[in-house]
């Protein structure tokens, strides 16, 4: 009887040990994400950056991935990127030729990328000229920025591809968070490599409040989320909060709208990230 009790005690200890090991292993992140940012241009972009730096770590804890950030674009090199399965551009793009080359090699080698709003911007002449053809024309497929709506305004978004892992939990249409929406040089519908996931539904028009008439859209096709089938990537046009630039309320340049407070849109972003990280 004593032997049986000792054996039972050992078995219980072994079970507890294995359970502890399983719990420890479950805390190992399923994949690693590195988000690059600049955080120096436009209060609306910086506002989005601040909420992203709060929201993504919360999602990382909930969905078991690791989320790191860096504002040092010199880290965009092969050695540093080899530690991560997913790269995120939160508010801009690299400008140094060596960093651009490293990113292209990373993506062509099977890396994954998620970009927001201004990360796709390019306009000549401007402080962000259209001087990276692979990125803007081949990878993103959109070419240069052409125009935008103003003020940041919510839109009804239509899911164009409901079979994609990033959109499978979305309704057919939903109301977005307010955003400054971009129009692009190239018609993405004509590019066989591009899979348009979401676009602005016609029920959104007129979209924008002005005051300039050309900043209010009345018709047209405007993709806002898409992927390139040749790469593991997804781009979101979202990422521009509204700011009290005119000091209508006080002198603090307060944020008037947020991007990451919309349950449907949040679901889209996290499902897209899980898709990228688990491929």
Residue of 51, 48, 52, 111 lying closest to 78 (CA atoms)? 111
Kindly tell me if the per-residue pLDDT of 18 is higher than 90: no
pLDDT per position as a tens digit, 89-114: 999 999 999 999 999 999 999 999 99
| Strand 112-116 with 145-148, pairing | unpaired
d(CA 207, CA 155): 7
Q: How many helices (H) and strands (E) does the chain have?
A: 6, 11
Dig out the tokens for 57 from the structure. Answer: 């770590």
One-character DSSP codes across 232-267: EEEEES-----B-TT-SS-SS--B---STT-HHHHH
- Whole-model pTM: value is 0.90
Report the C-alpha dihedral over residues 259, 161, 203, 185, rounded to 10 degrees.
Answer: 80
Residue of 101, 184, 102 lying closest to 140 (CA atoms)? 184
Average pLDDT over residues 130-145: 98
Helix (H, G, I), strand (E, B) or coil at 91: coil
pLDDT per position as a tens digit, 221-237: 999 999 999 999 999 99
């Amino acid at each position: 009887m004593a032997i049986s009790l000792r054996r039972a005690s050992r078995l219980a200890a072994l079970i507890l040990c294995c359970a502890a090991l399983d719990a420890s292993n479950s805390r190992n992140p399923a994949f690693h994400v590195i988000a690059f940012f600049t955080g120096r241009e436009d209060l609306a972009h910086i506002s989005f950056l601040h909420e992203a730096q709060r929201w993504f770590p919360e999602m990382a804890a909930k969905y078991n991935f690791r989320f790191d950030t860096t504002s040092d674009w010199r880290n965009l090199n092969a050695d540093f990127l080899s530690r991560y399965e997913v790269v995120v551009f939160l508010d801009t793009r690299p400008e140094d030729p060596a960093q651009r080359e490293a990113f292209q090699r990373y993506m062509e080698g099977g890396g994954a990328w998620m970009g927001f709003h201004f990360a796709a911007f390019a306009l000549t002449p401007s402080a962000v000229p259209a001087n990276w053809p692979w990125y803007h024309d081949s990878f993103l497929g959109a070419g240069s920025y052409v125009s935008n709506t103003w003020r940041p305004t919510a839109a009804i978004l239509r899911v164009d591809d409901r079979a994609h892992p990033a959109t499978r939990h979305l309704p057919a249409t939903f109301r977005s968070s307010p955003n400054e929406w971009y129009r692009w040089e190239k018609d993405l519908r004509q590019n066989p490599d591009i899979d348009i996931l979401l676009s602005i539904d016609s029920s959104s028009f007129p979209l924008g409040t002005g005051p300039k008439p050309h900043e209010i859209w009345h018709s047209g096709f405007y993709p806002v989320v898409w992927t390139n089938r040749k790469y593991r990537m997804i781009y979101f046009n979202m990422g521009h909060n509204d700011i009290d630039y005119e000091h209508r309320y006080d002198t603090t340049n307060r944020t008037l709208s947020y991007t990451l407070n919309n349950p449907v849109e949040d679901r889209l972003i996290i499902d897209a990230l899980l898709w990228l990280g688990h491929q």
